[in-house]
Amino acid sequence: MLTRLILTAVTVVVSYLVFKWLFKLIEKSVEKLGKELQMRNTLRFFLGLIISVIAVMIILDIWDLSFAPLLAGVGIGGLVIGLALQEPLANFFSGLFLLVSRAVKEGEALEAGGVSGTVEVVNLNHTVIRTWDGRRVMIPNKAVWNDKIIHFWPSNVRRQEIVVGVPYSADLRKVVEIFQKALEDEETVEKDPAPAIVFSAFNSSSIDFIIRFWVNRDNFFEGMKRLAFRIKDYLEKEGIYIPFPQLDVHFDEEFIRAWKHEGSENKS
């Protein structure tokens, strides 16, 4: 009896010390990232809950008590609570892993959870990404951690591309020269990394090229628009017009005669 009481007391003390040590360790890790912990109370609650459950299981084992009757006593209410906490706990631990591993850092340009943009906030529950068009998207950390994370070029420039079709009658060498001229004249296009003009496909009504270029992220959409206008203007000055799908319908003479004959009969 005395031995069990001593072991129980030791378990309680050790659990408390482990809780204090882990909480300080996690707090210091977050502080090293230069980030203020916004969910201190949440962190303390979940960490305390986990350690308490482990301590209770150890104490029950010390007293030769089974954990199963306790679970049965909790019944359906415990099941509901467990299901309700499933997602918050998953987001909590995913956020903890993200913060400690530094897989996602504030200010980085990346794609995570299917969203591309700049990371604004990473906390223990969700990650906030500002997309290229200015929207703030809150993504649960579980989705970020379980999905692939793509880090973009570590600078302020971003790549864009435009697909341009030209008619089959056009001089392709002249077309490429026009594209190069438009890229050189457009101020929003970065010279380093250098743009690229790539052949794409022989389509039904056009020969397509892909123009890849880099712009400052502040000009991500504006640069694309201005270059598109410039390319169209330069092509039209040289008498080259961007084609569009056309359909030629041919009728044989016998069909036309039959159609005219039927029309004349209807009039009479």
Give the pLDDT score at 195.
94
Q: pLDDT: is 179 or 23 the higher one? A: 179
Q: Backbone dihedral region of 141: left (phi > 0), alpha (psi from -120 to 50 degrees) or beta?
A: alpha
Crossing angle of helices 2-32 and 67-101, in 10° steps, is 20
- 107-147 pLDDT per residue, tens: 888 899 889 888 998 887 889 999 877 889 999 999 999 99
Q: Do domains 2-101 and 109-151 have the same CATH topology?
A: no
Give the pLDDT score at 192.
86
- 37-85 pLDDT per residue, tens: 455 666 677 778 788 888 888 888 888 776 666 656 555 555 555 666 6
Topology, domain 2-101: Helix Hairpins (1.10.287)
Indicate the pTM of the whole model. 0.50
Q: pLDDT: is 161 or 248 the higher one? A: 161
**What are the residue ranges spanned by the domains of the chain?**
2-101, 109-151, 157-237
The rounded percent of the chain whose pLDDT value lies above 70 is 79
* Residue 227 near residue 183, CB atoms below 8 Å: yes
Residue type at position 176: V
- 145-164 pLDDT per residue, tens: 999 998 876 677 888 999 99
Query: Is the domain 157-237 a CATH 3.30.70.100 member?
Result: yes
Domain 109-151 is of which CATH architecture?
Roll (2.30)
